[in-house]
Amino acid sequence: METSFFFMHLKSIIGYLLLLGFLVLSCWSRSWIVFCLLMVSSIFVWHPSANKVLLYKWRQLPLIQRKRWEWIPIVSVGVILIWFVNSFLFSVYTIHSSSMEPAISSGTVLVMNKFKTGSARSINSVNNYYRLGGIRGFERGDVVIFHFPEADTVFKDHPCENYHFIKRQCDVTKTFSPILKCKVMFQPVSERPLFIKRVIALAGDTLQIVDGNIHVNGKESTVNNAAVDKYTVNTDAPAQVKEKINKLAHSHYKEKILQVVEIHQGQVTEHKLRSFLEKEGEPLNMPDVYVFPFSPYYFWNASYWGPVVVPLKGNTVALTLRNLPLYRRIIETYEGNELEVEGAVIKINGKVAKSYTFKLNYYWVAGDNRPHSFDSRYWGFVPENHMVGTVSALSF
């Protein structure tokens, strides 16, 4: 008797479960499409007579029309399911750079997990931006995919060229590039190209690079072991050691008469090769004009950078002409304010500003293949609304 009762009401039970599922998804996703599906589903659950009406009309149709129409709900459900998964859960992304080699090579197809950290919504407006509830936030060491922050301004006819880099290059060399005559246009966050890097420091972390080694909150970062660095092999190293180094290296080649290798720091430590290698890098206090924040106030380069506290949402910093280069792009571009400097006075939205409170969290990212990675060292912080998701699976 109980079993027959269950089967008699099976359709109703399934309907109520679907309705509950749509209700949960509608609340979580805050999506009007899911809300509409909830409303449509409720009609058939709470008004079973609607099924009888549709079934009656269905039987009145010729057989050929029935076969054509029966594909509509199947295709519709498939399209909605694909849209939902792509928007809120997972996406597929193909790598087009070598910055994460050898772990992830160019051409690799990746599964991007948006659900783990919560899908980002309203990313084009800093005031309306929010993230859906996820399992956790971004963590140090995560391989992440994000919209490239410097792609806010692009050449209309040359969208793949980096406008900001070319302009900096012309300012440094005191030359003019013909491409600067081309029309430029603003590109919203959602249309900026996707990059892949590893999270090095989170909002609120104190970051410093010393002799190419990354230090976070005063300690050498564990992500250093994942990084490939460039070394020169000592000329007096035994032949068998040189051979071993070449086998372990991601790549090796000659520069003039010297043997150069690009190898994981972890392998250098594990195989005790440090005494046979000399890390290549820039010397202390030798400023690099192409390293963020591109200011004569900072004698920083890719090997020696910081210390700097990565901007944290709600934190307030005192603004001075000296530290303004670190935060100017955040204030103007990422958080949508008007900034002016009149002599020694800084004005934000027409008012004198001696401090600034951040609206977003920011991240510092870098590629594993450091000698060939265009990362935060060269363009700065990544705003949270640019972060799309983490790499859930390396490839398939």
208: how many CB neighbours lie within 10 A of its CB?
Answer: 18
> In the predicted model, what is the mean pLDDT of the chain?
85
Q: Which of 69, 97, 114 finishes a domain?
A: 69
CA–CA gap between residue 242 and residue 161 (Å, rounded): 40
Q: What is the pLDDT of residue 41?
A: 63
Number of other residues whose CB lies within 10 A of the CB of residue 294: 19
Whether 152 is covered by a domain: the verdict is: no
Decide if 38 is inside a domain.
yes
Domain assignment of residue 367, yes or no: no
What's the whole-number mean pLDDT along residues 91-115?
87
Residue 145 has what DSSP assignment?
Answer: E
Total of domains in the chain:
2
- State the pTM of this model: 0.84
Query: What CA–CA distance (Å, rounded) separates 104 from 226?
Result: 12
Residue type, 87: S
pLDDT higher than threshold 80 for residue 2: no
Q: Is residue 213 included in any domain, yes or no? A: no
Which of 264, 279, 294 finishes a domain?
279
CA distance 31 to 25: 8
| DSSP, res 289 | T
Q: Is residue 250 part of a domain?
A: yes
Range in 44-48, 154-158, 242-246 with the lowest mean pLDDT = 44-48
Cα-based distances in Å from 25 to 89, 121, 133: 12, 15, 11
d(CA 332, CA 322): 17
| Among 253, 247, 277, CA closest to 265 | 277
Please name which of 239, 206, 224 lies closest in space to residue 279, comparing C-alpha atoms.
224
Cis peptide before 293 (omega within 30 of 0): yes
Residue 53 banded pLDDT, cuts 50, 70, 90: low
- Where does a domain end: 231, 259, 279? 279
Any domain includes 88: no
> Strands (DSSP E) along 90-150, which ranges?
90-94, 109-113, 120-121, 130-131, 143-147
Distance, CA of 305 to CA of 5 (rounded, Å) = 72
Edge-to-edge strand ranges of the sheet holding 345-348: 339-342, 345-348, 351-352
The boundaries of the domain holding residue 22 are 2-69
Q: Please report whether residue 324 resides in a domain.
A: no
For residue range 264-282, list pLDDT tens digits in order. Answer: 888 888 888 888 999 888 9
* Within a domain: 305: no
Angle between helices 10-29 and 32-46 (to 10 degrees): 160
Non-local CB neighbours of 305 within 8 Å, separated by 6+ positions: 207, 208, 209, 291, 377
